[in-house]
Structure 1
């Protein structure tokens, strides 16, 4: 879609406003509204729209705050759930440039990191596609002033198999209408009436398709009432990152329209499964699905080429540093613990969901081979997380990093001695640990660029320090009578 097509679409759909979208370094979607008639002027596509970069976390300091948002015409989408002629709105992603607009700003995750890496791949005659499996929760609401602190649901304070009902609000929606309820860890593929989210998911899928994000299937996830997953067709690096934001944007808005709240917080419930984002990916020579699949080899036991094994080796080699980018919140590390299906051990395997990198084996065909990285969650910035994984994998290919033998057993059940014998390491257990690993990873630092790396580290160390200073209800209950 070019500038002239944008004008035509806006006119034909009687759009009055355009949400100009980009992301900050943390991964938060940022938007501002411009009258659609402004886009009838070619100058917008040539000069962009100025904004205050010092008000965006990690972008610019106040003395050099002027930045320019440059529209990407190909990303224009009319928001399908808004019918009011006064409110009729479209959304368009754009890149952040320096004033002039002279060049791409080094603070922009989309243009400076994701687009640059995609261009580098294209220059080498290659492409990459991603199919993220994004999980999230849908609640009736969350009142932070009325949280029910449920850490004493078991004598062991959460250890073992105890499953006292996790609660977000005293009147939250674990108990379904009619008396049905979904026990913790037993929500996977549950049908109505236990699953009360099916109509919401159908509605969300309908609107996502209108936005060009085609859902292949959706279902209730493992956790108790309200955890869902909708998987959409694979896309290339920048396009899938844009789709990630459209997915979250639609999920939150459709939930709000139904009196619900959609949250992509990784672990909102105590003693139940968390929301992850398993990232399927594959390299291609030439265009995706048209060129040659780099990861496939019909003669291999697991259909894996040698380059695929090296790519896995790169993911495992950089896994600890990747975790800071792919699981970038304090809460992310409440997910990366044993017993809740999240990966914590650095190894790979076909089919085995206890491994960090999995090779799905649904279809045994070289063109269908993909790798699934399981160490990310939906709190990440996709432009950074997807690009960082590609950089790690390509580094594995460049340096011919062998991933070792696949682990065919349930890694969670292996003894510490056996894991040590097999050379299986562990992911960082806190955001601080992950940041320390990222601080020494030259490949990922180069991928992010010095500005984004420095800003990301500063924001996240500050986040960690805030957390360390906060006195939690758990501490009060644990130590008040010491």
Structure 2
């Protein structure tokens, strides 16, 4: 919905009184200013002002001119836990010019180049996360109010997931009201670890949704006495959290999936373009890893040798092998279906705009 007058009417219908003008820093953390809905036009045309030197990695110091975050109308997201408020993803400007250190602006530049070449990048991402609490000494431990989430293999276990069902249902309902198409939730391989899956779409929208998902999970988890953490490896003896990316290139004119082929001699249903694409990913895998696994903690998740079986469940499910395969979760690139690749190495701590732009 890119027409401001139509959106203004929708906001009035939705009872929106406040807007969160939101962008991300270099780590992917959401940064916001709250403005009244009466400042809607100013948020579009001028933007909300920020002192860039107060934010990590946006190329500014205390002497720099103000950054102005201008909202993207297509990112309108009413907030379920604060019904009078809506969030807008924003792009940064300085002195009237697009700011090149804005991760979202940079990603839009990359996607524009791809579209000029005839491609649209479609992506779905799977945000794994832990629900935790802090003990009296400040250390993290698994959120387990019923003291039932203790299996060494808790993945998909009903009893282990049951205490979190209300949280997961509220999260699902709030996202589906925004049209995300959440289609499943599960207890993951580690105690206190969960995943929510929603429909794939164009890469920019997916990056915006991952950012909002983190915001939503953190606020809704707090209602249930938990902390939602996207730290990739909060516990050394449990499987870590990823942000697995499923993707393909589509034709910019007709939307057809360009990664599928019925004439694949390897039997995976993939086109020559698809193999060329993942060939580039594998060739640059180590460099990509610096962006997709940006913190020291990320590398506690990526394991080789004995580390592959260092989790309580018996497997880390986190391949550090630069390889592709069929429907095989021990490879960096899993072919989940014809023309459908999944990168399993991406960390839950990554900045989705930077990670997908690097692709």
Q: Could you tell me the TM-score, scaled by structure 2's length? A: 0.91
Separation in 2, partners of 1:12, 1:356:
46
Deviation at residue 291 of structure 1 after TM alignment? 2.8
Matched, 1:104 2:98: yes
Deviation at residue 248 of structure 1 after TM alignment? 0.9
Deviation at residue 144 of structure 1 after TM alignment? 8.0
Matched, 1:221 2:214: no
Q: Provide the residue aligned with 2:301 in structure 1.
A: 335
Matched, 1:348 2:359: no
Deviation at residue 292 of structure 1 after TM alignment? 2.6
> CA 1:12 to 1:322, structure 2 compared with 1: closer, same or farther past 3 Å?
same
Give the conservation status (yes or no) of the 8 Å contact 2:150–2:160: no
Structure 1 residues 333-412: aligned runs within 5 Å: 333-337=299-303, 338-339=308-309, 340-361=316-337, 366=338, 369-389=339-359
Separation in 2, partners of 1:315, 1:282:
13
Give the conservation status (yes or no) of the 8 Å contact 1:54–1:65: no
Whose Rg is larger? 1
Matched, 1:285 2:277: no
- Per-residue CA distance 1:405-424 (angstroms, 9 max, x = gap): xxxxxxxxxxxxxxxxxxxx
Separation in 1, partners of 2:10, 2:244:
35
RMSD of aligned alpha carbons: 1.8
Matched, 1:118 2:111: yes
Q: Provide the residue aligned with 1:197 in structure 2.
A: 164
- Per-residue CA distance 1:151-196 (angstroms, 9 max, x = gap): xxxxxxxxxxxxxxxxx34xx545x63x634323x11111136642
- Per-residue CA distance 1:369-408 (angstroms, 9 max, x = gap): 211111111211100101112xxxxxxxxxxxxxxxxxxx
Question: Per the alignment, in what secondary structure is the counterpart of residue 325 of structure 1?
Answer: helix
> CA 1:117 to 1:333, structure 2 compared with 1: closer, same or farther past 3 Å?
same
Separation in 2, partners of 1:93, 1:328:
22
Give the conservation status (yes or no) of the 8 Å contact 1:266–1:378: yes
Give the conservation status (yes or no) of the 8 Å contact 1:79–1:90: yes
> CA 1:354 to 1:230, structure 2 compared with 1: closer, same or farther past 3 Å?
same
- Per-residue CA distance 1:189-229 (angstroms, 9 max, x = gap): 111366422221111100111233221111100112x1100
Give the conservation status (yes or no) of the 8 Å contact 2:51–2:67: yes
Deviation at residue 10 of structure 1 after TM alignment? 2.4
> CA 1:24 to 1:222, structure 2 compared with 1: closer, same or farther past 3 Å?
same
Q: Provide the residue aligned with 2:225 in structure 1.
A: 259
Q: Provide the residue aligned with 2:13 in structure 1.
A: 12
Gaps of 5+ in 1: 148-167, 390-482
- Give 1 or 2: higher helix fraction: 1
Aligned counterpart in structure 2 of residue 307 of structure 1, from 273, 280, 289: 273
Q: Provide the residue aligned with 1:95 in structure 2.
A: 91
Give the conservation status (yes or no) of the 8 Å contact 1:192–1:198: no
Question: Per the alignment, in what secondary structure is the counterpart of residue 197 of structure 1?
Answer: helix
> CA 1:49 to 1:173, structure 2 compared with 1: closer, same or farther past 3 Å?
closer
Give the conservation status (yes or no) of the 8 Å contact 1:182–1:194: no
- Per-residue CA distance 1:269-321 (angstroms, 9 max, x = gap): 1211111111101001125xx53321111021111111111111111111101
Matched, 1:142 2:134: yes
Number of matched pairs? 345
> CA 1:180 to 1:257, structure 2 compared with 1: closer, same or farther past 3 Å?
closer
Q: Could you tell me the TM-score, scaled by structure 1's length? A: 0.69
Separation in 2, partners of 1:17, 1:196:
33
Aligned counterpart in structure 2 of residue 183 of structure 1, from 130, 151, 167: 151
Deviation at residue 344 of structure 1 after TM alignment? 1.1
Q: Provide the residue aligned with 1:131 in structure 2.
A: 124
Separation in 2, partners of 1:37, 1:194:
43
Question: Per the alignment, in what secondary structure is the counterpart of residue 330 of structure 1?
Answer: coil
- Give 1 or 2: higher strand fraction: 2
Gaps of 5+ in 2: 310-315
Separation in 2, partners of 1:104, 1:143:
45
- Per-residue CA distance 1:226-252 (angstroms, 9 max, x = gap): 110001100111110000011111111
